[in-house]
Amino acid sequence: MPFARISHTAGKSESFSTALSQGIHRAMVDAFGVPEDDFFQIITEHGEKTGLLGPDSFLGIDHSADMVFVQITCAEGRSTEQKKALYAAIASNVAAGTDVGEEDVFINLVETKRENWSFGNGLAQFAG
């Protein structure tokens, strides 16, 4: 049930967005055990220096203007080890499928209770 918001600078090819989407979803399947068909994403392009802002360097990591921002909202309950595996897999998959380096993949994970989700029909499918 993860929901991913993926943001990158404009001017990239359609295959770039596809590679981001697939790499991030593959990481969620592998690290979190998400079913293959559990696939909800919003991919947004932003003009250079108008919508995606960050420092040139933070925590000893240098960033370029091509930074990709990934925010994943998911149900709570994964271990720290699973989260670390997810972050590593996303960075690796994005770097392998695009021209973006692992250092330019910023990831934020937001956990919610399962009752906070509706997948259609106005129902809370996972509420107790």
Q: Would you kindly state where each structural domain of the chain is located, as residue ranges? A: 3-116
Closest CA to 106 of 92, 87, 119: 87
- In this structure, are strands 61-62 and 57-58 parallel, antiparallel, or unpaired? antiparallel
Q: Which of the following is catalytic: 2, 6, 24, 31?
A: 2
pTM of the model: 0.92
Output the tens digit of pLDDT for each of the chain's 128 residues: 799 999 999 999 989 999 999 999 999 999 999 999 999 999 999 987 778 888 999 999 999 989 999 999 999 999 999 999 999 999 999 999 999 999 999 999 999 998 898 889 988 888 87
Structure tokens at 52: 């995606």
Confirm whether 2 is a catalytic residue: yes
Distance (Å, rounded) from C-alpha 86 to C-alpha 27? 6
CATH superfamily of 3-116: Macrophage Migration Inhibitory Factor (3.30.429.10)
Supply angle C-alpha 26, 39, 107, rounded to 5.
Answer: 60
